[in-house]
Chain A
Amino acid sequence: MMGICFLIVGLLFTTITKLVTTGIGIWGNNQPVAWAFDIVNFVWWIGIGHAGTLISAILFLFRQEWRTSINRFAEAMTIFAVMCAGLYPLLHLGRPWLFYWLFPYPNVMQTWPQFRSPLMWDVFAVSTYFTISVLFWYTGLLPDLASLRDRAKSRIAQVITGVAALGWRGSARHWQRYDIIYLLLAGLSTPLVLSVHSIVSLDFAVAQLPGWHTTIFPPYFVAGAVYSGFAMVLTFMIPVRAFFGFKDFVTQRHLDAMSKVMLATGLIVLYGYAMEAFVGLVYSGNPNEYFQMHNRMFGPYGWSYWMLITCNGIIPQLLWLKRVRLNPVLLWFITIVINIGMWLERFVIIVISLHRDFVPSSWGMYFPTKWDFGMFIGTMGFFGFMMCLFIRFIPMFAGFELRELLHKKKSHSH
């Protein structure tokens, strides 16, 4: 598994090397479809990352105890997904080594970034999100790293885990501070769950393009992000659970609860699609909006819209049935379908909206090249590779939290 992933990481590096030495002309996007696979994948990956933050932060604040056995896993996924996501806009810059131009710093050009552009806000939103996610994940890891250190056999392992554990001794004072910090970070991450994808959606919503210029985008994007994030967690969790025999940690109840979250967010997303169609075809009375929506459904890319509706709207309705929610194989299949659907959603929004401009003379089609696919598959491999490394080297479950939970449960039952 890791070997396969590593091969795909090689593909990613090949693609990036080719991209850096040749330029982004190797991608299929060109006027009028200036944003294509790169931004589709960026939004997709960022969305996937959302489950981690939601599980660790919001569910923590709501004292949803079932989160305990999946939070570490989901947080790791968040970090790796954001890494994959960040790669795309970075490389789409064309000259990625000049990425620091995105940050406001006193420079010899005496220019500042364009603060009125949502793309600029995105830089801050995503980098803040990544930083907080890493801190949150790492803070949660500390006690487990310390127990790894205490159990380490070799000197090298002791030193490495010891440095990583930052001198954690598990004293009462440590625990008290830990609780405060964890709560604070959870509080910090909570608005991030909403802000990051809202701002990503503003990348589109601020532009005056039919299909993009709509106020429904922020909530609809956030719901979609959580939807795809939970789907991705399950896509990874179900095989890992079966393979390592973690049925006692990730119980039926977890699958059930996560399915319900997916169902709820999926319905929000479906409402979003319905609203877009209603506004475009009926309510706006704007010929451009009407044409855009009509073209989305019956234009040259119509297949992707109907596939999207099938994947994201129809098939997940099976989750209403408890039998489906408790059937890991079927559930796994549905999560894959949702992942595809959410990818298609971004494709529909970005490519279809762009390829028919206001002026028919500037209409065009978008065809991804092999490098587009190389990059996309490559990041999936990178994600898988990092997940494999994570499963191999880092405690997959928050050991101490599970023990704490068990302890509480026992004392309650008395």
Chain B
Amino acid sequence: MAQIFHPTANAVARLSIVIVGLVVIGGLVTLDQLTRAPYGTEVGVAREQPVPFSHKHHSNMGIDCRYCHTSVEDSSFAGIPPTKTCMNCHSMIFADQTILEPVRESWKTGESLQWNRVHDLPQFVYFNHSIHVAKGIGCSTCHGRVDEMPLTRKENTLYMGWCLDCHRAPENFVRPKDKVFDMAWTPPANQAEVGKELLKEYKVDTAHYRMLDCYLCHR
């Protein structure tokens, strides 16, 4: 009877053990890396917008964040300005720029501008801007140097692990309340001590059953 397999089949069989192992491990590592790469996180990816709005340009003129994001201190939602806010200035300034046509169009017709959301938390997450601002977490801690972004992009992943980085050790991120809207603020060398002091001052209960309670965000 003829041989069914060539002798090299032995080598193939042995090799296949290694290859299958490598493929499985490689596949898992690839998936994990894709999740953490901009492909999954969309960090640093600027979304297309109806108007190529530049935070850099506007904040360099000294406009405060809260001029447009009015509800950041009062509400869960920081607020996206109504067309009216744009037109406060742009009815006079650059009033004939074609780039601003959608804004004028919106003003004329009463149809809202439709912005593409850059920071999009899943629906099952409860997040509140006002409490973070009130307890000394600055804009730039999460959003990065928005004042240096010509087009808005995400600075952080907004993954749960990223949230927990701070909720596990808020003393590394908390800052004096008057610096909350200071985009250029960087933690001082003794942040560890200052942070603890600030947490005490703001009456932040850092107990795990509070800061890390599932129900805090998944209500």
Q: A residues engaging B (CB < 8 A)? A: 106-111, 149, 158-159, 162, 166-167
- A162 near B160: Cβ-Cβ < 8 Å: no
| Known A166-B13, A167-B9: A108·B4 in contact at CB below 8 Å | no
Among B5, B159, B161, B162, contact of A162 (Cβ-Cβ < 8 Å): B5
- B13 near A109: Cβ-Cβ < 8 Å: no
Question: Once the chains are docked, how many angstroms separate the CA of A398 from the CA of B171?
Answer: 66
| 8 cross-chain pairs, A with B, having the tightest CB-CB distances, nearest first | A110-B161, A109-B160, A108-B159, A162-B4, A158-B4, A108-B161, A110-B164, A109-B161
| Known A111-B160, A167-B9, A167-B13: A106·B4 in contact at CB below 8 Å | no
Residues on B with C-beta less than 8 A from A106 are 32
Q: B residues engaging A (CB < 8 A)? A: 4-5, 9-10, 13, 32, 35-36, 157, 159-162, 164-165
Among A108, A149, A158, A167, contact of B160 (Cβ-Cβ < 8 Å): A108
Q: Chain B residue with minimal CB distance to A166?
A: B13
Residues on B with C-beta less than 8 A from A167 are 5, 9-10, 13
Q: List 11 A-B contacts (CB under 8 A).
A: A106-B32, A107-B161, A108-B159, A108-B160, A109-B159, A109-B164, A110-B164, A110-B165, A158-B4, A159-B4, A159-B5
Residues on B with C-beta less than 8 A from A111 are 160-161, 164
Q: How far is the CB of B53 from chain A (nearest CB, A)?
A: 29
- In the complex, given contacts A109-B160, A111-B160, A111-B164, what are 5 additional A-B residue pairs having Cβ atoms less than 8 angstroms apart? A108-B157, A108-B160, A108-B162, A110-B161, A167-B5
- B160 near A110: Cβ-Cβ < 8 Å: yes
Question: Once the chains are docked, how many angstroms separate the CA of A110 from the CA of B160?
Answer: 7
Residues on B with C-beta less than 8 A from A108 are 35-36, 157, 159-162
Q: How far is the CB of B167 from chain A (nearest CB, A)?
A: 10
Q: Main SS of chain B's interface residues?
A: helix
Q: Chain A residue with minimal CB distance to B157?
A: A108
Residues on A with C-beta less than 8 A from B5 are 159, 162, 167
Residues on B with C-beta less than 8 A from A159 are 4-5
Residues on A with C-beta less than 8 A from B162 are 108
Residues on A with C-beta less than 8 A from B160 are 108-111
Max chain B C-beta neighbours (<10 A), residue from A107, A108, A109, A111: A108
Q: How far is the CB of A94 from chain B (nearest CB, A)?
A: 13
Q: How far is the CB of A44 from chain B (nearest CB, A)?
A: 32
Q: How far is the CB of A218 from chain B (nearest CB, A)?
A: 31
Question: Once the chains are docked, how many angstroms separate the CA of A369 from the CA of B161?
Answer: 39
Q: Chain A residue with minimal CB distance to B164?
A: A110
Question: Once the chains are docked, how many angstroms separate the CA of A158 from the CA of B32?
Answer: 40
Q: Chain B residue with minimal CB distance to A152?
A: B4
Q: Chain B residue with minimal CB distance to A106?
A: B32
Question: Once the chains are docked, how many angstroms separate the CA of A110 from the CA of B166?
Answer: 12
Q: Chain B residue with minimal CB distance to A149?
A: B4
Question: Once the chains are docked, how many angstroms separate the CA of A383 from the CA of B13?
Answer: 31
Question: Once the chains are docked, how many angstroms separate the CA of A58 from the CA of B162?
Answer: 50
Residues on A with C-beta less than 8 A from B4 are 149, 158-159, 162
Residues on A with C-beta less than 8 A from B35 are 108
Q: How far is the CB of B65 from chain A (nearest CB, A)?
A: 28
Question: Once the chains are docked, how many angstroms separate the CA of A53 from the CA of B59?
Answer: 71
Question: Once the chains are docked, how many angstroms separate the CA of A149 from the CA of B4?
Answer: 9
Residues on A with C-beta less than 8 A from B36 are 108
Q: How far is the CB of B166 from chain A (nearest CB, A)?
A: 11
Q: How far is the CB of B63 from chain A (nearest CB, A)?
A: 35
Q: How far is the CB of B100 from chain A (nearest CB, A)?
A: 39
Question: Once the chains are docked, how many angstroms separate the CA of A410 from the CA of B35?
Answer: 65
Q: How far is the CB of A394 from chain B (nearest CB, A)?
A: 19
Q: How far is the CB of A114 from chain B (nearest CB, A)?
A: 11
Residues on B with C-beta less than 8 A from A158 are 4
Q: How far is the CB of B173 from chain A (nearest CB, A)?
A: 16
Question: Once the chains are docked, how many angstroms separate the CA of A162 from the CA of B9?
Answer: 11
Q: How far is the CB of B108 from chain A (nearest CB, A)?
A: 45
Residues on A with C-beta less than 8 A from B161 are 107-111
Residues on B with C-beta less than 8 A from A110 are 160-161, 164-165
Residues on B with C-beta less than 8 A from A166 are 13
Question: Once the chains are docked, how many angstroms separate the CA of A167 from the CA of B5?
Answer: 9
Question: Once the chains are docked, how many angstroms separate the CA of A159 from the CA of B157?
Answer: 50
Q: How far is the CB of B113 from chain A (nearest CB, A)?
A: 32
Q: How far is the CB of A264 from chain B (nearest CB, A)?
A: 42
Q: How far is the CB of B35 from chain A (nearest CB, A)?
A: 6
Residues on B with C-beta less than 8 A from A149 are 4
Q: How far is the CB of B206 from chain A (nearest CB, A)?
A: 17
Question: Once the chains are docked, how many angstroms separate the CA of A413 from the CA of B109?
Answer: 104
Q: Chain B residue with minimal CB distance to A109?
A: B160
Q: Chain A residue with minimal CB distance to B28?
A: A105
Q: Chain B residue with minimal CB distance to A159?
A: B4
Q: How far is the CB of B168 from chain A (nearest CB, A)?
A: 8
Residues on A with C-beta less than 8 A from B32 are 106
Question: Once the chains are docked, how many angstroms separate the CA of A110 from the CA of B169?
Answer: 14
Question: Once the chains are docked, how many angstroms separate the CA of A108 from the CA of B162?
Answer: 8
Question: Once the chains are docked, how many angstroms separate the CA of A108 from the CA of B34?
Answer: 11
Q: How far is the CB of A339 from chain B (nearest CB, A)?
A: 38
Question: Once the chains are docked, how many angstroms separate the CA of A159 from the CA of B32?
Answer: 37
Residues on B with C-beta less than 8 A from A109 are 159-161, 164
Question: Once the chains are docked, how many angstroms separate the CA of A109 from the CA of B157?
Answer: 11
Q: Chain A residue with minimal CB distance to B165?
A: A110
Question: Once the chains are docked, how many angstroms separate the CA of A379 from the CA of B53?
Answer: 58
Q: Chain A residue with minimal CB distance to B168?
A: A110
